[in-house]
């Protein structure tokens, strides 16, 4: 459960309640606010406590300003649509080069994937289990 207290006093009360209940929880600071991550079986009645949000971390009430992330020369944020594209798996340097050229030509900003997803086992998906990311590095520049 994600608990976002209204103020520091509510945060302290919630922390004390969780501590006394032996519940598993972690208190962190995020965007200058206290956030408590707790086991949903903690037995705390959050309805009677000072809770600021029920919308969670995706709410503009929690963080009203947009987030911008710099990745190399690319700025990812609210100003423009950024498209990531690419395969989940790659098998050869030639395949990577061909796909990278197509992805770039069709307008994608950054490559996506380029390895074998962790859910797959190498015995069922022969190819570049260990070398895919290293082989793909630099192919999109």
- Write down the mean pLDDT value for the chain: 72
List the structure tokens of 62: 């929690």
Residues 6+ apart with CB under 8 A from 43: 21, 23
* pLDDT of 36 higher than 60: yes
- HEC assignment per residue over 68-84: CEEECCEEEECCECCCE
Neighbours of 92 (CB within 10 A): 13
Write down the pTM of the prediction: 0.41
The pLDDT confidence band at residue 11, using thresholds 50, 70 and 90, is confident
Instruction: Please give the pLDDT value at position 24.
Output: 83
pLDDT of residue 56: 58
């Amino acid at each position: 459960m994600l608990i976002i207290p209204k103020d520091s006093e509510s945060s302290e009360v919630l922390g004390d309640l969780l501590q006394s209940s032996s519940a598993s929880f972690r208190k962190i600071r995020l965007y200058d606010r206290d956030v408590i991550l707790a086991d949903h079986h903690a037995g705390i009645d959050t309805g009677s406590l000072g809770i600021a949000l029920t919308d969670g971390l995706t709410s503009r009430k929690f963080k009203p300003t947009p987030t911008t992330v710099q990745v190399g020369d690319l700025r990812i944020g609210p100003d423009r649509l950024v498209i990531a594209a690419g395969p989940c798996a790659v098998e050869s340097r030639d395949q990577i080069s061909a796909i990278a050229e197509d992805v770039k030509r069709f307008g994608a900003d950054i490559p996506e994937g380029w390895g074998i997803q962790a859910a797959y086992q190498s015995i069922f998906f022969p190819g570049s289990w260990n070398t895919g990311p290293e082989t793909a590095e630099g192919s999109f520049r």
